[in-house]
Structure 1
Amino acid sequence: MVKLGGALDDEMTRACADVRTLVSGGAEVVVVHGGGAAADRVGTELGRPTRHLTSRDGRRSRYTDAAALDTLMLGILGRVKPTIVTALASLGVRAVGLSGLDGGMVTATRNRASRAILDGMEVIVRDDLSGRLSDVDASLPNTLLAAGFVPVISPPALSTDGPLNVDADRLAAALAVALSADTLVVLSNVPGLLRDRHDPASLITSVPVDAPEEYLALAEGRMKVKLRAAVEARRAGVGTVVLADGRTDSPVLTATGTRFVTREEHHARAS
């Protein structure tokens, strides 16, 4: 499985040639993507600037009221997904664009009302249409894989409240587990987890999933979410999980970056 980070923006398609190589070699590949940067541009065009919530413990997240959810879906489903599917098709890969809504593939539970800082003021947020994953039904992507297609999957997810924005990294991890994937490569606009986020040479090459706390403490913002999702996937049985740089040539086949390993593997790599 390949997760294309929304921050890659126009560089998302760099991985498509690698997907073709894998499929040509007989591998089954699923692509998961976000699209926050594209959604931000759509919002600017529509006069709906992106707004963020800051929780009491400092966590920052996209404020997704009804208008923002509409903007997010326009960006992810209307711009990013067609670009990826078209790029794969131009390489001879039979790709099918899906969201978590299709076939009830991904379900989620809406976040409860909570206090947060919005536009500089503390408010009780009751209209945020974001949620946490509840379940993943792998039957649809499995059917497509068996027929020789490459599913290209993204948020939103389905809920009793309608579509919900869910985190694409957690979606990728949950899908990898549900599909019993051998490998999850998470591509972003950084080389991996950095000890100093301003220094690419400070790359941390492995994170022990048995004791990731030290490394989670180093991460900030989106990187912390990516680490948590990667740890969850590796603990749940995905054999190889790596966070790598999606801006390089052949980013999937040459993925090194930060690997998520057992404590024993971590010590062996360090020695």
Structure 2
Amino acid sequence: MITKNLLSILTLSALMMACGSKSNEQEETSTVDTEADSTAVAEVPSTKEVEAVGIWDKVSVRATPSEDGKWLTSVSLGESLTYLGEEAKDSNDKMYYKIRLNDGKEGWVRYEFVVPEAKPAVFVNESDLYNRPDLLTKSDKKFSKMDIIAVKQAQDDWVEVTGKRTNGKWIESGWVRKSNISYEPVDIAMAKFAKPAMETEDPDSRAKKLEEILNNVDLSSSAFVVDIKAALDEIKLNAGSSEEVDATAEEEDSMEMEDEEAMEEDRQE
């Protein structure tokens, strides 16, 4: 009887140990699977960071997506930056993009002034704007030389661009021939400074600004140097012509005064 009871106890113990071992194996397998799933989820990025371009000058970068957010810095026209894949609207339903500048500073800007998945470029020639990459779709709009834009994509001999035209009122998009643009940073920088300088009304101020730009060695390799020199030479030529006209006018006035004095002397005699 004792032997039978002992055998029963041993059999029951073996069964319990087997069940416990199986349970532990299941728990370990479950733990491994959970860890694997957790790792897989962690590898999926939560945001998509892409290249972007600022297409408006002096755009405010703020600490929060709001006009009332703390001002951090500003984005320059044609500046390269990174779009962090985050968007938000303020209380006035205005959309903001979160961006990172080249110095690592992050903040929020109005979405209209940033083009994600694009590269900066500048027009080196006047260019017609097309609705599609097809010569048959030419519009009545043109981009001017030194207009800075964002290039969104390329197709054969065409590129899709977004930016403000010199003669436009707001930001526009379309297609242009890629031979009319430059991606060189020095050309983009030269256009950024030279274009407003060339539009200065006062000739003396315009000449001074252009001379300062030409004396900047960092911009000396730009394709626009020739245009700047030509504009400066024109100012000097016009100034020389004006001086000649003024000198001739003064000489004529002097001669008239001498004639009047001579006539007065004759009358007195």
- Give TM-score, length-normalised by structure 2: 0.25
Instruction: Tell me which of the two structures has the higher relative contact order, counting C-alpha pairs closer than 8 angstroms and 6 or more residues apart.
Output: 1
- Give TM-score, length-normalised by structure 1: 0.25
Higher helix share: 2
Larger of the two Rg values belongs to structure: 2
